[in-house]
Amino acid sequence: MSQKKSVLSGTIVQNAIKESFLKLDPRVMVRNPIMFVVEIGFILTLILTFVPKAFRSSTPFWFNLIVTIILLVTILFANFAEALAEGRGKAQADSLKKTKKDITANKIAGSSVKQVSSSDLRKGDIVLVSQGEMIPGDGEVIEGLASVDESAITGESAPVIKEAGGDFSSVTGGTRVISDQIKVRITSDPGESFLDRMISLVEGAKRQKTPNEIALNTVLMSLTLIFLIVVVTLSYFGSYLNVNLDVPVLIALLVCLIPTTIGGLLSAIGIAGMDRVTQFNVLAMSGKAVEAAGDINTIILDKTGTITYGNRMASEFIPVGSSKEEEVGQWAAVSSIKDETPEGRSVLELMKKLGYAIDTTLASSGEFIEFKAETRMSGIDLKDGRKVRKGAVDAIKKWVAAQGGSIPSDLTASSDKVASAGGTPLAVAVDNQIFGIIYLKDTVKPGMRERFEQMRKMGIKTIMCTGDNPLTAATIALEAGVDDFIAESKPEDKIAVIRREQAEGKLVAMTGDGTNDAPALAQADVGIAMNSGTVAAKEAANMVDLDSDPSKIIEVVAIGKQLLMTRGALTTFSIANDIAKYFAILPAMFMLAIPQMEVLNVMKLGSPMSAILSALIFNAIIIPLLIPLAMKGIAYKPISSAQLLRRNLLIYGLGGVVVPFIGIKIIDLVVHLWV
């Protein structure tokens, strides 16, 4: 599935332009205090344009009108930035709404099955879903096993296996069963499904502000209040110097001094951060979770189903006696051709990986012997009379001995070696001869070691939690490349390690998919549940990975850091911008009364009127020019806080001072000719 979306698609831009005007409603604008101050200034200058005597203004009509238009454009540009960021989330929400359909459900009522609308289903109802049918609502499989197509939700075409019990029983409404039949217990009422929550959550307009954003808003509002007091005081200061400072001029000064640039882009940065997470198929329940991901110090990972596949897979063929590895593989494959279990399929996969040919003709007409708890082995009886078996070592030894066969002297040592490494040994025998051992182990997902190495470079500690014994846990931890592990862990152990890390002032992320992971997911600062996991896990987490790829935490962390870096960079740029604008407007206002202020007119602007208008125009157009940066974000590189501060000051601090000097001067050259 393509993860990239066009930032400026025609429909999104058109809707954003419309929203820019709708957001002029003061009840909406008051949510952004800085731009609300600009809107008040716009209303005042609008009144002064047509009723100049209202505030005894002596500025010409054309000046008041131009200031009014520039202030309106400034507000519209800020609204456009926010609406554009919201637009991508709403576009995805609209596509999800198309996915949501009223499906006919086969509800089980006593001993009968009746067809009802999916909208009539309630939590606790049990439905029967057969091949080709849509799952009518979120639920858990309570009986049966089926292959489910979740592409409508995740975008991935590969079907997933859902079965009763364990950590792969959760199903999502709107997905389709493509094989077999399952009974599902509905776990949500109408309007409360996972799809409903996705629709509401991806609509950025409903995003709550994060603590960091609230703190930054407080700082920006404090600066706005300070400059408001300064501007009001300037009026009296000007009277003392016999300088008439009209209200439109003071409003223009205030708008240029307060941090309008970051004020206009702040919401867009936060919404775009959540949207970038969604583009990686991770559903963030709140902006706080995305932002917290940027400061993560420790990640707790559940082993089964997260770091490993959760099924024991064939990883090696070990010959015993005088046998060869290829012989062990050949007979293991013959016994597994009709074996549909994960272990059986993994034997055939290992044969392909090793490059050994598989002779399917031997087993084609044989009688498959299924695994039974009593015999603890499975296999096939060939047409030529030979019997092939694979199973527990002691069970195979007894079976061979019963047929008069001998036990290879190195069988016990080989099986003990596999067991001591945390694996499961399966012996392979044909009639009265044991050929070797299949080494089964819980396989680490590809690329995990490299991903954990990336986390280490980002300064993030990885801890694996597993219920396995210490020896098995150590083997998996070494293979996966995690920094630490906790063996034989219970749910309370996972919570304990999270609290221990948090007590040291660290932010902790947790990934998991099982019901037993739910308490830890809720305790963690960032809890990421796998979509393949249980309902309990997804409800406890504040993020859900729709692709069930635990290594994706790296992208989430990078996006969180990118969000913080983008906000910091644009805040630095905005404040530096204001410094340059001081040199444009203040000298222009007082040069006539105080000739000595000419020394501050370093830009050599044409006239007081053109200086004020040029600064206002630059103040307006810089917002849309920075929208792509706010939406895309600053490129993330794993560097220290000190390096990041130096980089921000050098690029965005210095750039924020230089760019306005150049921009305002160029605009003034044009404006001065016209004025």
**Enzyme catalytic residues:** 302
Is the four-CA dihedral 54, 59, 65, 71 of positive or negative sign?
negative
Residue 645: CB partners within 8 Å, gap ≥ 6? Answer: none
E strand or H helix that includes residue 301: strand 298-302
54 close to 603: Cβ distance less than 8 angstroms:
no
Tokens standing for 262? 């970051």
d(CA 281, CA 275): 10
342 DSSP 8-state letter: H
d(CA 59, CA 366): 100
Is residue 303 a known part of a binding site?
A: no
Is residue 377 a known part of a binding site?
A: yes
Is residue 513 a known part of a binding site?
A: yes
Q: How do strand 377-381 and strand 104-109 relate by DSSP bridges? A: unpaired
CB neighbour burial string for 64-86, b if at least 16 within 10 angstroms, e if fewer: bbbbbbbbbbbbbbbbbbbbbbb
d(CA 301, CA 503): 19
Long-range CB contacts for residues 63-70, cutoff 8 Å, separation at least 24? 63/248, 63/609, 63/613, 64/248, 66/613, 67/248, 67/251, 67/252, 67/612, 67/613, 67/616, 68/42, 70/613, 70/616, 70/617, 70/619, 70/620
Is residue 455 a known part of a binding site?
A: no
Write the single-letter amino acid at 659. Answer: V
Tokens standing for 496? 């304990």
End-to-end CA distance of the chain: 55
Is residue 506 a known part of a binding site?
A: no
Is residue 452 a known part of a binding site?
A: no
Is residue 120 a known part of a binding site?
A: no
Is residue 402 a known part of a binding site?
A: no
Is residue 378 a known part of a binding site?
A: yes
How many other CB atoms sit within 10 Å of the CB of residue 163? 14
Residue 498 CA, distance from chain mean position: 21
Is residue 390 a known part of a binding site?
A: yes
Burial class of residue 296, CB neighbours in 10 A (0-12, 13-18, 19+): buried
Number of helical H runs and strand E runs in the chain: 24, 20
d(CA 330, CA 552): 38
* CA dihedral angle for residue 28, residue 30, residue 35, residue 41, rounded to 10 degrees: 110
Is residue 371 a known part of a binding site?
A: yes
Angstrom distances, CA of residue 275 to CA of 214, 426, 513, 573: 19, 48, 23, 23
Residue 561: CB partners within 8 Å, gap ≥ 6? Answer: 293, 294, 295, 636
Is residue 221 a known part of a binding site?
A: no
Is residue 517 a known part of a binding site?
A: yes
E strand or H helix that includes residue 500: helix 491-503
Beta-carbon-side half-sphere exposure of residue 639 (alpha carbons within 13 Å): 13
Annotated binding residues, written as ranges, equal: 339, 343, 371-378, 390, 513, 517
Annotated binding residues for Mg(2+), written as ranges, equal: 513, 517
Annotated binding residues for ATP, written as ranges, equal: 339, 343, 371-378, 390
